Chains A and B, each alone.
Chain A
Amino acid sequence: MSAATRTAPAATKAPDTAPRKVRRRNAGLGLVAWLVGIVFVLPVLWMALTSLHSEADAATNPPSLAAPLTLDGYREFFGAGGGPSPWFSLANSMTASVVSTLFVLLLALPAAYALSIRPVKKWTDVLFFFLSTKMLPVVAGLLPIYLFAKSSGTLDNIWLLVVLYTSMNLPIAVWMMQSFLAEVPAALIEAAQIDGARLPVILTRVVAPIAMPGIAATSLICFIFSWNEMLFARVLTGVIAQTAPVFLTGFITSQGLFLAKVCAASLVISLPVLAAGFAAQDKLVQGLSLGAVK
């Protein structure tokens, strides 16, 4: 299933058929790939280095590579200098991302089941309806949601974001899980039925083990999208329910020399996504391409 294991047979075959000229060119092109890779990752590495410099060393031209390292930027970010503490925003982001992901699973799993394992009539139409809601620009529905929040007193309330993030990720989750559940062989389910297994047993013993990696990938992507979201969060939250991305944009305008702190903050806030993404690279692609790339 993973991209890496897929290439293995082709890759080991390559030296047999490819002429030596091709192999030497591969090494040369490998060097090019390394260079491009370094160019792409350099800004992130530079940000990491800057986050470890003092503010004075961070803002020099030409840039200083050898400046002494310090954790001051991180201390500042976590509120050592008397600034606002990011813990509330990080906790809000965690709540919004984790709870909305759980809600998505709760709603999407039965729907995906109805669309793949025991498909309803015209199930492709239903699937397309789900996807079509994702194509409508978020910004076009923002004003009524804002007005609703204002009149119902849910402005600056994290649970409003939980509901919105659930609706934002639900269509993608239904699509992904439909394609993952469709991988469960029908014969397997029938065999279990003949053996007299009831629905709960079939779901937990037959369907769940096969669909689990897909469910994990779906959860990961829902988490990342919720964690990254800023437009809803910016318009609908203020002080109490502020999320991490909003916090990040908040403290840049008010202060003067802030480069190391901004870098530290950006990295800390990106950390959950970076860690999850690196750990599950293949799952991420498969999920983002709505399960179409297998």
Chain B
Amino acid sequence: MRAWVTRAPLLPALVFLIIVTQLPMVATLVISVFDWNALYPEARSFAGLANYAEVLGDPELRKSVFTTILLTVTVVLTSLVLGMLLALLLDRRFKGRGAVRTMLIAPFLLVPVAAALLWKHVLYNPEYGLFNGVLHWILGDGATQPDWVAEMPLGAVEASLVWQWTPFMMLILLAGLQSRPMDAVEAAWIDGAGAWQVFRYITLPHLRRYLELGALLGTVYIVQNFDAVFTITSGGLGTANLPYTIYQTFYQGHEYGLASAAGVLVVIGSIIIATLALRVVSSLFREEARS
């Protein structure tokens, strides 16, 4: 009886979450073993694992798996490194530090679709975008005027995402730096340690869990990125990642069975990543509980 009194407050949230997030997953699993195209509903039939074979054998889909991994790894690593450099800069005292921090946060606060539109139309546009305008300013009338999205489609998507996510990494790492025990750093200074040694042996180990947290959260969000791919390239030119491909397979292709099989495969991939990630979080959690 007492146990139920303490458990009761949990139930509404648990029941709600199971219904809204777990049931659709089960339904996806069921649909994935059917041959089901929405345009031919009467031709729906049990297909076993045929959809999975088709998904795994489809070069387009395999490519979007590869694109998702490449996009995520590039964006997370680049913004993590840039974010760390910026956090180290902002950890020092200088005039207008608060102003610089506020400027740096702006990209992260723009609505993602708005940010993607900004990059596509205002910056990348070959005819009147800011990038080519600046080239024109600097190099004069004969300046090269590249078509950025056409020439480096994946790079174009990645650059906009790095711009949005570097501030986020910077914020987390800055908070990490500011919780660094200063007495250890000062002791190292007095013992004659150089800046690099302080960074390598004191700062970096301290930042480790903050780096892991940034990488984990960044990965969760960027693996699922839809807005940037949808807006900047519409998935064209080899930039279709898994969320975009699945969206297209069911929303425009009406291939319900295939889309579900691809979805299930994404879930399996995510579970593998999540298991690793949760281990990281739980180690973080234990440290927190101890302190």
Contacts and interface: CB of A to CB of B under 8 A. Distances in A.
> For the complex, would chain B's binding face be called helix, strand, loop or mixed by DSSP majority?
helix
B122 A47 contact: yes
Interface stretch (B3-11, B55-63, B150-158): B3-11
A120 B7 contact: yes
B10 A114 contact: yes
A114 B217 CA distance: 25
A18 B195 CA distance: 11
Interface residues of B, number: 113
B24 A111 contact: no
B226 A43 contact: no
B105 A136 contact: no
A219 to B, nearest CB: 16
Contacts of A46: 122-123, 130
A142 B266 CA distance: 13
Contacts of B21: 133, 136, 141, 167
B142 interface: no
A197 interface: no
A270 B108 contact: no
Given A61-B127, A133-B17, A143 B259 contact: yes
Interface in A1-58: 3-4, 6-7, 10-11, 13-14, 17-18, 26-27, 29-34, 36-38, 40-41, 43-44, 46-47, 50, 58
A29 B118 contact: no
Given A29-B89, A133-B21, A163-B20, A142 B31 contact: no
Interface string B162-182: 010011100110111011001
Contacts of A244: 111
A246 B160 CA distance: 19
Nearest to A275: B109
Contacts of A94: none
Interface string A274-294: 100110010011101110111
A61 B128 contact: yes
A94 B282 CA distance: 35
A141 B31 CA distance: 11
Given A143-B259, A285-B175, A292-B213, A33 B242 contact: no
Interface of B: 3, 6-10, 12-14, 16-17, 20-25, 27-28, 31, 86, 89-115, 117-119, 121-123, 127-130, 132-133, 136-137, 145, 163, 166-168, 171-172, 174-176, 178-179, 182, 186, 189-190, 209-210, 213, 217, 220, 223-224, 226-227, 230-231, 242-243, 246-247, 250-251, 256, 259-260, 263-264, 266-267, 270-271, 273-274, 277-278, 281-282, 284-285, 288
Interface of A: 3-4, 6-7, 10-11, 13-14, 17-18, 26-27, 29-34, 36-38, 40-41, 43-44, 46-47, 50, 58-63, 107-108, 110-111, 113-115, 118-121, 124, 126, 128-148, 163-164, 166-167, 170-171, 174, 179, 227-228, 230-231, 235, 244-245, 248-249, 252, 259, 262-263, 265-267, 269-270, 273-274, 277-278, 281, 284-286, 288-290, 292-294
